[in-house]
Protein backbone atom coordinates (compact mmCIF):
# COMPACT_ATOMS: atom_id res chain seq x y z
CA UNK A 1 0.00 0.00 0.00
CA UNK A 2 1.51 3.34 -1.03
CA UNK A 3 2.28 5.81 1.75
CA UNK A 4 0.78 9.29 1.79
CA UNK A 5 2.92 12.41 1.98
CA UNK A 6 1.95 12.92 5.63
CA UNK A 7 2.91 9.33 6.52
CA UNK A 8 6.28 9.83 4.85
CA UNK A 9 6.75 13.20 6.58
CA UNK A 10 6.41 11.51 9.99
CA UNK A 11 9.47 9.39 9.17
CA UNK A 12 11.64 12.33 7.99
CA UNK A 13 14.05 14.19 10.31
CA UNK A 14 12.12 17.48 9.75
CA UNK A 15 15.23 19.66 9.63
CA UNK A 16 13.86 21.70 6.69
CA UNK A 17 17.47 22.15 5.61
CA UNK A 18 16.85 21.96 1.86
CA UNK A 19 19.78 19.62 1.18
CA UNK A 20 17.46 17.42 -0.87
CA UNK A 21 17.08 20.42 -3.24
CA UNK A 22 13.52 20.94 -1.98
CA UNK A 23 12.99 23.71 0.60
CA UNK A 24 10.94 21.82 3.21
CA UNK A 25 10.52 18.28 4.47
CA UNK A 26 6.77 18.49 3.79
CA UNK A 27 7.31 19.39 0.14
CA UNK A 28 9.90 16.63 -0.15
CA UNK A 29 7.52 14.07 1.43
CA UNK A 30 4.80 15.05 -1.06
CA UNK A 31 7.21 14.55 -3.97
CA UNK A 32 8.32 11.15 -2.68
CA UNK A 33 4.66 10.13 -2.30
CA UNK A 34 4.01 11.25 -5.89
CA UNK A 35 7.00 9.24 -7.11
CA UNK A 36 8.79 12.42 -8.24
CA UNK A 37 11.69 12.20 -5.76
CA UNK A 38 13.66 9.32 -4.28
CA UNK A 39 13.78 8.97 -0.50
CA UNK A 40 17.60 8.57 -0.77
CA UNK A 41 17.88 12.24 -1.77
CA UNK A 42 17.52 13.17 1.92
CA UNK A 43 20.92 12.41 3.45
CA UNK A 44 19.53 12.16 6.99
CA UNK A 45 17.13 9.22 6.79
CA UNK A 46 18.31 5.88 8.20
CA UNK A 47 18.74 2.79 6.04
CA UNK A 48 15.80 1.22 7.83
CA UNK A 49 13.47 4.11 6.96
CA UNK A 50 14.88 4.21 3.44
CA UNK A 51 13.95 0.57 2.94
CA UNK A 52 10.52 1.03 4.51
CA UNK A 53 9.61 4.09 2.45
CA UNK A 54 11.43 2.87 -0.66
CA UNK A 55 9.39 -0.33 -0.76
CA UNK A 56 6.10 1.45 -0.05
CA UNK A 57 6.66 4.24 -2.56
CA UNK A 58 8.22 2.04 -5.27
CA UNK A 59 6.44 2.22 -8.62
CA UNK A 60 4.06 -0.70 -9.30
CA UNK A 61 6.20 -1.76 -12.25
CA UNK A 62 9.70 -2.29 -10.89
CA UNK A 63 12.53 -0.24 -12.40
CA UNK A 64 15.17 -2.51 -13.96
CA UNK A 65 18.56 -1.44 -15.26
CA UNK A 66 20.66 -3.33 -17.81
CA UNK A 67 24.24 -2.50 -18.79
CA UNK A 68 26.98 -0.56 -17.05
CA UNK A 69 26.20 1.60 -14.03
CA UNK A 70 27.25 4.82 -15.80
CA UNK A 71 25.15 4.30 -18.95
CA UNK A 72 22.39 1.78 -18.24
CA UNK A 73 19.28 1.01 -20.24
CA UNK A 74 16.38 1.56 -17.83
CA UNK A 75 12.99 -0.07 -18.21
CA UNK A 76 9.85 -0.24 -16.07
CA UNK A 77 9.26 2.29 -13.30
CA UNK A 78 5.78 2.86 -14.72
CA UNK A 79 3.02 4.17 -12.49
CA UNK A 80 -0.01 4.64 -14.72
CA UNK A 81 -2.10 3.04 -17.44
CA UNK A 82 -2.51 6.05 -19.69
CA UNK A 83 0.06 8.66 -20.58
CA UNK A 84 -2.32 11.57 -19.95
CA UNK A 85 -2.71 10.48 -16.30
CA UNK A 86 0.92 11.41 -15.65
CA UNK A 87 3.55 10.23 -18.14
CA UNK A 88 5.30 7.04 -19.22
CA UNK A 89 8.69 6.88 -17.56
CA UNK A 90 11.06 4.69 -19.56
CA UNK A 91 10.74 4.10 -23.24
CA UNK A 92 10.45 0.64 -24.77
CA UNK A 93 13.85 -0.83 -25.57
CA UNK A 94 14.27 -1.95 -29.18
CA UNK A 95 16.68 -4.77 -29.87
CA UNK A 96 17.78 -7.25 -32.51
CA UNK A 97 18.30 -11.00 -32.25
CA UNK A 98 21.53 -12.80 -33.13
CA UNK A 99 22.00 -16.55 -32.61
CA UNK A 100 24.89 -18.97 -32.41
CA UNK A 101 23.55 -20.71 -35.52
CA UNK A 102 23.65 -17.57 -37.66
CA UNK A 103 26.38 -17.15 -40.27
CA UNK A 104 29.09 -14.65 -39.31
CA UNK A 105 28.01 -12.31 -42.10
CA UNK A 106 24.43 -12.22 -40.76
CA UNK A 107 25.63 -11.39 -37.25
CA UNK A 108 28.05 -8.76 -38.58
CA UNK A 109 25.27 -7.18 -40.65
CA UNK A 110 22.96 -6.89 -37.64
CA UNK A 111 25.72 -5.41 -35.48
CA UNK A 112 26.64 -2.98 -38.24
CA UNK A 113 23.02 -1.84 -38.62
CA UNK A 114 22.70 -1.54 -34.83
CA UNK A 115 25.63 0.91 -34.94
CA UNK A 116 24.67 2.83 -38.06
CA UNK A 117 20.87 3.21 -37.92
CA UNK A 118 20.82 6.31 -35.71
CA UNK A 119 18.81 9.44 -36.31
CA UNK A 120 18.76 12.88 -34.79
CA UNK A 121 15.26 14.20 -34.20
CA UNK A 122 14.46 17.40 -32.30
CA UNK A 123 17.79 17.12 -30.52
CA UNK A 124 17.22 13.50 -29.49
CA UNK A 125 19.32 10.62 -30.81
CA UNK A 126 17.00 7.79 -31.83
CA UNK A 127 18.69 4.39 -31.90
CA UNK A 128 18.25 0.72 -31.01
CA UNK A 129 19.19 -0.19 -27.45
CA UNK A 130 19.74 -3.91 -27.18
CA UNK A 131 21.13 -6.99 -28.86
CA UNK A 132 19.71 -10.35 -27.80
CA UNK A 133 22.27 -13.17 -28.05
CA UNK A 134 20.64 -16.61 -28.24
CA UNK A 135 22.33 -19.91 -27.45
CA UNK A 136 20.49 -21.86 -30.17
CA UNK A 137 23.29 -24.45 -30.48
CA UNK A 138 23.17 -25.02 -26.73
CA UNK A 139 26.95 -24.82 -26.72
CA UNK A 140 28.72 -22.78 -24.06
CA UNK A 141 31.87 -22.00 -26.08
CA UNK A 142 30.04 -20.65 -29.13
CA UNK A 143 27.57 -18.75 -26.90
CA UNK A 144 30.40 -17.00 -25.03
CA UNK A 145 32.26 -16.34 -28.30
CA UNK A 146 29.18 -14.72 -29.86
CA UNK A 147 28.59 -12.66 -26.72
CA UNK A 148 32.17 -11.36 -26.88
CA UNK A 149 31.83 -10.58 -30.58
CA UNK A 150 28.69 -8.51 -29.92
CA UNK A 151 30.28 -6.73 -26.95
CA UNK A 152 33.25 -5.81 -29.12
CA UNK A 153 31.25 -4.83 -32.22
CA UNK A 154 28.52 -2.78 -30.54
CA UNK A 155 30.14 -0.80 -27.74
CA UNK A 156 26.96 0.82 -26.43
CA UNK A 157 24.60 -2.14 -26.89
CA UNK A 158 22.92 -3.58 -23.82
CA UNK A 159 22.72 -7.35 -23.98
CA UNK A 160 20.05 -9.94 -23.35
CA UNK A 161 21.54 -13.40 -23.02
CA UNK A 162 19.12 -16.18 -23.96
CA UNK A 163 19.78 -19.78 -23.02
CA UNK A 164 18.10 -22.73 -21.33
CA UNK A 165 21.30 -23.39 -19.42
CA UNK A 166 22.07 -21.46 -16.24
CA UNK A 167 25.74 -22.47 -16.59
CA UNK A 168 25.96 -21.07 -20.13
CA UNK A 169 24.29 -17.85 -19.02
CA UNK A 170 26.71 -17.49 -16.11
CA UNK A 171 29.74 -17.98 -18.39
CA UNK A 172 28.47 -15.48 -20.98
CA UNK A 173 27.43 -12.95 -18.31
CA UNK A 174 30.92 -13.12 -16.80
CA UNK A 175 32.34 -12.23 -20.22
CA UNK A 176 30.20 -9.06 -20.11
CA UNK A 177 32.04 -7.69 -17.06
CA UNK A 178 30.51 -4.38 -15.97
CA UNK A 179 28.06 -4.37 -18.91
CA UNK A 180 25.52 -6.39 -16.93
CA UNK A 181 23.15 -8.22 -19.32
CA UNK A 182 19.57 -9.33 -18.76
CA UNK A 183 19.51 -13.12 -18.36
CA UNK A 184 16.67 -15.04 -20.08
CA UNK A 185 14.83 -17.15 -19.16
CA UNK A 186 13.64 -18.79 -15.98
CA UNK A 187 10.97 -21.48 -16.22
CA UNK A 188 9.20 -23.32 -13.41
CA UNK A 189 11.63 -26.22 -13.83
CA UNK A 190 14.90 -24.29 -13.85
CA UNK A 191 13.90 -21.33 -11.63
CA UNK A 192 16.30 -22.21 -8.80
CA UNK A 193 19.36 -22.62 -11.09
CA UNK A 194 18.46 -19.43 -12.97
CA UNK A 195 18.02 -17.56 -9.70
CA UNK A 196 21.47 -18.83 -8.70
CA UNK A 197 22.98 -17.55 -11.97
CA UNK A 198 21.33 -14.14 -11.51
CA UNK A 199 22.61 -13.86 -7.93
CA UNK A 200 26.10 -15.01 -8.85
CA UNK A 201 26.46 -12.55 -11.73
CA UNK A 202 24.44 -9.67 -10.22
CA UNK A 203 22.21 -9.53 -13.32
CA UNK A 204 18.47 -9.05 -13.72
CA UNK A 205 16.56 -12.17 -14.77
CA UNK A 206 13.74 -12.55 -17.28
CA UNK A 207 10.97 -15.09 -16.76
CA UNK A 208 10.08 -17.34 -19.70
CA UNK A 209 6.47 -18.21 -18.98
CA UNK A 210 4.25 -20.61 -20.90
CA UNK A 211 1.21 -18.38 -20.27
CA UNK A 212 0.14 -15.66 -17.84
CA UNK A 213 -0.67 -18.02 -14.94
CA UNK A 214 2.57 -19.91 -15.39
CA UNK A 215 4.46 -16.59 -15.46
CA UNK A 216 2.90 -15.64 -12.12
CA UNK A 217 3.95 -18.98 -10.64
CA UNK A 218 7.55 -18.47 -11.79
CA UNK A 219 7.83 -14.87 -10.54
CA UNK A 220 6.37 -15.91 -7.17
CA UNK A 221 8.99 -18.63 -6.94
CA UNK A 222 11.80 -16.22 -7.86
CA UNK A 223 10.52 -13.58 -5.42
CA UNK A 224 10.57 -16.35 -2.81
CA UNK A 225 14.23 -16.99 -3.73
CA UNK A 226 14.93 -13.34 -2.87
CA UNK A 227 15.22 -11.99 -6.44
CA UNK A 228 13.76 -8.54 -7.08
CA UNK A 229 15.06 -7.46 -10.49
CA UNK A 230 12.89 -9.42 -12.91
CA UNK A 231 11.36 -8.99 -16.35
CA UNK A 232 8.53 -11.13 -17.72
CA UNK A 233 7.76 -12.86 -21.00
CA UNK A 234 4.34 -14.50 -20.73
CA UNK A 235 5.12 -16.79 -23.66
CA UNK A 236 2.56 -15.10 -25.94
CA UNK A 237 3.59 -15.43 -29.57
CA UNK A 238 0.65 -13.85 -31.39
CA UNK A 239 -0.13 -10.16 -31.60
CA UNK A 240 -3.47 -10.60 -29.84
CA UNK A 241 -2.14 -12.70 -26.97
CA UNK A 242 0.88 -10.40 -26.46
CA UNK A 243 -1.30 -7.32 -26.41
CA UNK A 244 -3.78 -8.91 -23.98
CA UNK A 245 -1.04 -10.16 -21.65
CA UNK A 246 0.77 -6.80 -21.62
CA UNK A 247 -2.48 -5.02 -20.74
CA UNK A 248 -3.51 -7.55 -18.08
CA UNK A 249 -0.05 -7.42 -16.48
CA UNK A 250 0.04 -3.60 -16.41
CA UNK A 251 -3.51 -3.32 -15.08
CA UNK A 252 -2.96 -5.94 -12.39
CA UNK A 253 0.24 -4.25 -11.23
CA UNK A 254 -0.99 -0.64 -11.37
CA UNK A 255 -4.59 -0.93 -10.20
CA UNK A 256 -4.41 -4.05 -7.96
CA UNK A 257 -0.77 -3.71 -6.82
CA UNK A 258 -0.30 -7.35 -7.87
CA UNK A 259 3.44 -7.85 -7.33
CA UNK A 260 4.06 -11.03 -9.39
CA UNK A 261 3.18 -9.06 -12.56
CA UNK A 262 4.80 -5.79 -11.47
CA UNK A 263 7.75 -6.13 -13.85
CA UNK A 264 8.59 -4.81 -17.31
CA UNK A 265 7.71 -7.15 -20.16
CA UNK A 266 9.90 -8.64 -22.88
CA UNK A 267 8.17 -9.24 -26.22
CA UNK A 268 9.47 -11.17 -29.22
CA UNK A 269 7.83 -10.04 -32.49
CA UNK A 270 10.76 -11.85 -34.16
CA UNK A 271 9.09 -15.12 -33.17
CA UNK A 272 5.57 -14.12 -34.22
CA UNK A 273 5.91 -13.80 -38.00
CA UNK A 274 8.34 -14.19 -40.93
CA UNK A 275 7.04 -11.05 -42.65
CA UNK A 276 9.24 -8.03 -41.79
CA UNK A 277 6.39 -5.55 -42.31
CA UNK A 278 4.02 -7.54 -40.10
CA UNK A 279 6.79 -7.82 -37.50
CA UNK A 280 7.17 -4.06 -37.50
CA UNK A 281 3.40 -3.61 -37.21
CA UNK A 282 3.29 -5.98 -34.21
CA UNK A 283 6.17 -4.05 -32.63
CA UNK A 284 4.30 -0.77 -33.11
CA UNK A 285 1.23 -2.17 -31.32
CA UNK A 286 3.35 -3.42 -28.43
CA UNK A 287 5.24 -0.12 -28.08
CA UNK A 288 1.86 1.54 -27.63
CA UNK A 289 0.77 -1.02 -25.05
CA UNK A 290 3.35 -1.55 -22.44
CA UNK A 291 6.28 -3.50 -23.89
CA UNK A 292 9.43 -2.98 -21.82
CA UNK A 293 11.63 -4.56 -24.48
CA UNK A 294 10.91 -5.60 -28.07
CA UNK A 295 13.22 -7.97 -29.92
CA UNK A 296 13.20 -7.81 -33.72
CA UNK A 297 14.67 -10.31 -36.17
CA UNK A 298 16.63 -7.58 -37.97
CA UNK A 299 17.03 -3.81 -38.11
CA UNK A 300 16.13 -1.97 -41.32
CA UNK A 301 15.86 1.80 -41.57
CA UNK A 302 12.51 1.88 -43.37
CA UNK A 303 10.73 -0.06 -40.61
CA UNK A 304 12.86 1.03 -37.67
CA UNK A 305 12.52 4.79 -38.15
CA UNK A 306 8.69 4.80 -37.78
CA UNK A 307 9.06 2.70 -34.61
CA UNK A 308 11.56 5.21 -33.22
CA UNK A 309 9.18 8.06 -33.99
CA UNK A 310 6.21 6.32 -32.40
CA UNK A 311 8.30 5.58 -29.32
CA UNK A 312 9.49 9.18 -29.11
CA UNK A 313 5.92 10.46 -29.29
CA UNK A 314 4.51 8.07 -26.71
CA UNK A 315 7.28 8.47 -24.18
CA UNK A 316 7.48 12.27 -24.35
CA UNK A 317 6.29 13.81 -21.09
CA UNK A 318 3.00 15.56 -22.00
CA UNK A 319 3.47 17.96 -19.08
CA UNK A 320 6.77 19.29 -20.39
CA UNK A 321 7.15 21.01 -23.74
CA UNK A 322 9.89 19.62 -25.93
CA UNK A 323 12.58 22.19 -26.41
CA UNK A 324 15.85 22.61 -28.23
CA UNK A 325 18.73 24.58 -26.79
CA UNK A 326 19.07 28.29 -27.41
CA UNK A 327 21.89 28.56 -29.93
CA UNK A 328 22.98 29.35 -33.46
CA UNK A 329 22.35 26.33 -35.69
CA UNK A 330 24.23 26.23 -39.02
CA UNK A 331 22.11 24.60 -41.75
CA UNK A 332 23.62 23.57 -45.12
CA UNK A 333 27.09 24.90 -44.24
CA UNK A 334 26.53 28.70 -44.03
CA UNK A 335 29.28 31.34 -44.33
CA UNK A 336 29.57 35.10 -43.81
CA UNK A 337 27.22 35.83 -46.72
CA UNK A 338 24.42 33.49 -45.63
CA UNK A 339 20.98 34.63 -44.43
CA UNK A 340 20.14 34.77 -40.71
CA UNK A 341 16.69 33.71 -39.53
CA UNK A 342 15.35 33.53 -36.00
CA UNK A 343 12.59 31.50 -34.37
CA UNK A 344 11.51 30.04 -31.02
CA UNK A 345 12.84 26.91 -29.27
CA UNK A 346 9.63 24.83 -29.38
CA UNK A 347 11.00 21.55 -30.81
CA UNK A 348 8.29 21.14 -33.38
CA UNK A 349 8.89 24.65 -34.72
CA UNK A 350 12.63 24.05 -34.80
CA UNK A 351 12.16 20.74 -36.57
CA UNK A 352 9.79 22.12 -39.19
CA UNK A 353 11.80 25.28 -39.84
CA UNK A 354 15.18 23.53 -39.97
CA UNK A 355 13.68 20.85 -42.23
CA UNK A 356 12.41 23.47 -44.70
CA UNK A 357 15.71 25.34 -44.64
CA UNK A 358 17.59 22.11 -45.19
CA UNK A 359 15.42 21.16 -48.14
CA UNK A 360 15.95 24.64 -49.66
CA UNK A 361 19.69 23.82 -49.87
CA UNK A 362 20.38 27.49 -49.04
CA UNK A 363 23.21 27.76 -46.47
CA UNK A 364 21.54 29.53 -43.54
CA UNK A 365 22.20 30.56 -39.96
CA UNK A 366 19.22 29.49 -37.85
CA UNK A 367 18.98 31.34 -34.52
CA UNK A 368 16.95 29.60 -31.85
CA UNK A 369 15.83 31.82 -28.99
CA UNK A 370 14.80 30.23 -25.68
CA UNK A 371 11.04 30.78 -25.36
CA UNK A 372 10.55 28.02 -22.76
CA UNK A 373 9.17 25.70 -25.39
CA UNK A 374 6.37 28.03 -26.49
CA UNK A 375 5.56 28.49 -30.16
CA UNK A 376 6.18 31.86 -31.87
CA UNK A 377 2.84 33.60 -31.28
CA UNK A 378 2.26 32.08 -27.84
CA UNK A 379 5.75 33.11 -26.76
CA UNK A 380 5.22 36.64 -28.07
CA UNK A 381 1.86 36.90 -26.26
CA UNK A 382 3.47 35.57 -23.06
CA UNK A 383 6.24 38.19 -23.23
CA UNK A 384 8.97 35.63 -23.93
CA UNK A 385 9.72 36.59 -27.53
CA UNK A 386 9.68 40.39 -27.36
CA UNK A 387 11.94 42.76 -29.29
CA UNK A 388 14.11 43.53 -26.25
CA UNK A 389 14.68 39.82 -25.57
CA UNK A 390 15.47 39.04 -29.20
CA UNK A 391 17.92 41.98 -29.28
CA UNK A 392 19.61 40.78 -26.11
CA UNK A 393 19.96 37.28 -27.53
CA UNK A 394 21.29 38.60 -30.86
CA UNK A 395 24.00 40.54 -29.04
CA UNK A 396 25.16 37.69 -26.85
CA UNK A 397 24.86 34.99 -29.54
CA UNK A 398 27.85 36.29 -31.51
CA UNK A 399 26.00 36.11 -34.84
CA UNK A 400 27.38 39.53 -35.79
CA UNK A 401 30.86 37.98 -35.94
CA UNK A 402 29.68 35.22 -38.26
CA UNK A 403 28.17 37.34 -41.06
CA UNK A 404 29.25 40.42 -43.01
CA UNK A 405 25.72 41.66 -43.70
CA UNK A 406 23.19 42.86 -41.11
CA UNK A 407 19.88 41.33 -42.25
CA UNK A 408 17.72 39.53 -39.73
CA UNK A 409 14.71 37.54 -40.98
CA UNK A 410 11.96 37.23 -38.37
CA UNK A 411 8.85 35.00 -38.48
CA UNK A 412 5.99 36.47 -40.52
CA UNK A 413 3.72 36.25 -37.48
CA UNK A 414 5.92 38.82 -35.71
CA UNK A 415 5.60 41.46 -38.45
CA UNK A 416 4.18 43.98 -35.94
CA UNK A 417 7.44 43.83 -34.01
CA UNK A 418 9.56 45.16 -36.89
CA UNK A 419 9.65 48.78 -35.70
CA UNK A 420 10.50 47.88 -32.12
CA UNK A 421 13.26 45.52 -33.25
CA UNK A 422 14.77 48.18 -35.49
CA UNK A 423 14.99 50.44 -32.44
CA UNK A 424 16.59 47.71 -30.33
CA UNK A 425 18.98 46.62 -33.12
CA UNK A 426 19.83 49.85 -35.00
CA UNK A 427 22.64 48.19 -36.99
CA UNK A 428 20.37 45.51 -38.39
CA UNK A 429 17.77 45.53 -41.14
CA UNK A 430 14.71 43.59 -40.06
CA UNK A 431 13.11 41.53 -42.81
CA UNK A 432 9.73 39.89 -42.38
CA UNK A 433 9.87 36.24 -43.34
CA UNK A 434 6.95 34.08 -44.44
CA UNK A 435 4.21 33.12 -42.00
CA UNK A 436 4.38 29.46 -42.96
CA UNK A 437 7.62 27.48 -42.82
CA UNK A 438 6.68 25.84 -46.13
CA UNK A 439 7.29 29.17 -47.90
CA UNK A 440 10.81 29.55 -46.46
CA UNK A 441 12.72 27.78 -49.29
CA UNK A 442 11.41 30.21 -51.94
CA UNK A 443 12.02 33.17 -49.61
CA UNK A 444 15.60 32.14 -48.85
CA UNK A 445 16.42 31.47 -52.50
CA UNK A 446 15.39 35.02 -53.40
CA UNK A 447 17.09 36.68 -50.43
CA UNK A 448 19.94 39.10 -51.19
CA UNK A 449 21.59 41.12 -48.41
CA UNK A 450 20.08 44.60 -48.15
CA UNK A 451 23.25 46.08 -46.61
S1 LIG B 1 17.27 17.01 3.19
FE2 LIG B 1 15.92 15.80 4.52
S3 LIG B 1 15.79 16.99 6.36
FE4 LIG B 1 16.57 18.38 4.81
S5 LIG B 1 14.71 19.36 3.95
FE6 LIG B 1 15.15 17.59 2.71
S7 LIG B 1 13.91 16.00 3.62
FE8 LIG B 1 14.03 17.59 5.16
At 74-127, the pLDDT tens digits run 999 998 999 888 889 999 999 999 999 999 999 999 999 999 999 987 668 999
The answer to whether the predicted template modeling score (pTM) of the entire model surpasses 0.75 is yes
Interacting residues of 356 by C-beta distance below 8 A, sequence separation 6+: 437, 438, 440, 441
What is the mean pLDDT of the segment spanning 421-441?
95
Asked if residue 40 has its Cβ within 6 Å of ligand 1, the reply is no
Q: Find the 16 Cα to ligand 1 centroid distance in Å.
A: 5
Nearest atom (ligand 1) to Cα of 13: 3
Query: Does residue 345 contact residue 369 with C-beta atoms inside 8 Å?
Result: yes
Portion of the chain with pLDDT greater than 70, in percent:
98
Q: For residue 440, is it within any domain?
A: yes
* pLDDT over threshold 90, residue 264: yes
Query: Among the three residues 314, 342, 375, which one is the final residue of a domain in this structure?
Result: 314
* pLDDT over threshold 60, residue 242: yes
CATH code for the domain in which residue 364 is found: 3.40.50.11600
Which of 135 and 121 is assigned the larger pLDDT?
135
What is the average pLDDT value for the chain, to the nearest integer?
94
Per-residue pLDDT tens digits for 28-87: 998 888 767 778 889 999 888 888 887 777 789 999 999 999 999 999 999 899 988 888
Asked if residue 15 has its Cβ within 6 Å of ligand 1, the reply is yes
* pLDDT over threshold 70, residue 145: yes
SS3 59: coil
CATH code for the domain in which residue 242 is found: 3.20.20.20
Domain encompassing residue 27? 5-57
Report pLDDT for 451.
58
Radius of gyration over every alpha carbon of the chain, rounded to an integer in angstroms: 26
* pLDDT over threshold 90, residue 167: yes
Per-residue pLDDT tens digits for 363-381: 999 999 999 989 999 999 9
Same domain, 346 and 419: yes
46 burial level (CB within 10 Å; 0-12, 13-18, 19+)? exposed
Interacting residues of 367 by C-beta distance below 8 A, sequence separation 6+: 328, 329, 340, 341, 342, 343, 393, 394, 397, 399
Portion of the chain with pLDDT greater than 90, in percent:
84
Q: For residue 451, is it within any domain?
A: no
SS3 214: helix
* pLDDT over threshold 60, residue 1: no
C-alpha 434/C-alpha 341 separation (Å) is 11
Domain count, the chain: 3
CATH code for the domain in which residue 50 is found: 1.10.15.40
What is the mean pLDDT of the segment spanning 376-405?
94
Q: Find the 383 Cα to ligand 1 centroid distance in Å.
A: 36
Kind plus residue range of the DSSP H or E element containing 126: strand 124-126
Report pLDDT for 103.
97
Asked if residue 445 has its Cβ within 6 Å of ligand 1, the reply is no
Same domain, 186 and 234: yes
Q: Find the 413 Cα to ligand 1 centroid distance in Å.
A: 47
Per-residue pLDDT tens digits for 13-23: 999 999 988 89
Q: For residue 322, is it within any domain?
A: no
Report pLDDT for 239.
97
Amino acid sequence: MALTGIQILKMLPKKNCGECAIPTCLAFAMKVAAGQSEIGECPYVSDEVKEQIGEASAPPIRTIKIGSADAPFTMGGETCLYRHEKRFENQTGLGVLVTTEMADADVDGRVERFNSLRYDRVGVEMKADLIAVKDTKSDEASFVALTKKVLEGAKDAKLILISDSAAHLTAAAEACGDRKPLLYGATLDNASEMAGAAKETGCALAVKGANLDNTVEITEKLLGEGLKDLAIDTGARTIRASLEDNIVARKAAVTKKFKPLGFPTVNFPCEMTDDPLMESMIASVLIAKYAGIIILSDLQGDTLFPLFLERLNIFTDPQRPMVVEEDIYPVNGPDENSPVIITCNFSLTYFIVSGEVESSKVPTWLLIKDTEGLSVLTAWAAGKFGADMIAQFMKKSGIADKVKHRDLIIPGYLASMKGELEEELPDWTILIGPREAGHLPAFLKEWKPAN
